[in-house]
Amino acid sequence: MIKNILFDLGGVIMDIRRDNCVEAFKKLGMADPGQFLGDYAQKGPFQGVEDGSVSASQFRDEIRKLIPVRLSDEEIDDAFSQFLIGIPTHRLGELERLHESYRLLMLSNTNPIMWNGKIDSEFRKAGHDVGHYFDGIALSYEAKAMKPDLRIFRYAIEKLKMDPNETIFLDDSQTNLDAAARLGFKTLLVPPEKEFYQLLKDVNIQ
């Protein structure tokens, strides 16, 4: 029996667009931001701030080394946050509905700049903070590991007090789902242009 729904954030709840972020850093003067920014994983300082190996301030210092003009923290943070488009309010409503019957949990590869900035504000736009929607949250920069590394799933199991056999994990990356399945999670792929709540209804979770 499914008791827990474990959500990825970007590409499942929040709409994202990598190309927006690439263009934003190009406009700031970075020669080839595409080499660092992927759809599902990052490289260089972008990876470091998501796996927790560098702090937000260290990340900004590393970015400044790649751009030949003087930049403020705010300019860097804004360019980075262009990766995120936003959360449609109807998805927030669907989370509330599901929360009446299931424990809702989140497991996200993210970083403190986005988490404390755009992500926080997107959840608040319906009048609630993120804690209103979720019973527990596990983030890559706190776990010091990123999906699909099994360490982050083990971290989430312990932190969120969940049994994988009672949990369905939703992600937009099949690689991440395959890793979760190795630990016993039920999994559900959320492809582009699909809504998570419709896909859950298709497997009788509603």
How far is 53 from 139, CA to CA, in rounded Å?
A: 13
Structural domains of the chain, with CATH:
4-15+86-202 (3.40.50.1000), 18-81 (1.10.150.240)
Closest of 202, 190, 200 to residue 16, by C-alpha: 190
For residue 14, name the pLDDT band (cuts at 50, 70, 90).
very high
**pLDDT class of 168 with cuts at 50, 70, 90:** very high
Identify the active-site residue in 8, 51, 77, 172.
Answer: 8
pLDDT of amino acid 42: 83
Catalytic residue at 8? Answer: yes
For position 39, what pLDDT does the model report? 72
pLDDT tens-place string over residues 106-165: 999 999 999 999 999 999 999 999 999 999 999 999 999 999 999 999 999 999 999 999
Tokens linked to 176: 């991440």
- Confidence grade of residue 37 (pLDDT, cut at 50, 70, 90): confident
Cβ contact 190:5 at 8 Å: no
Tokens 């927006």 belong to 20
% of the chain beyond a pLDDT of 70: 100
Distance CA 185, CA 79 (A): 35
Q: What is the per-residue pLDDT across 86-99, written as a single tens digit (0 to 9) for each?
A: 999 999 999 999 99
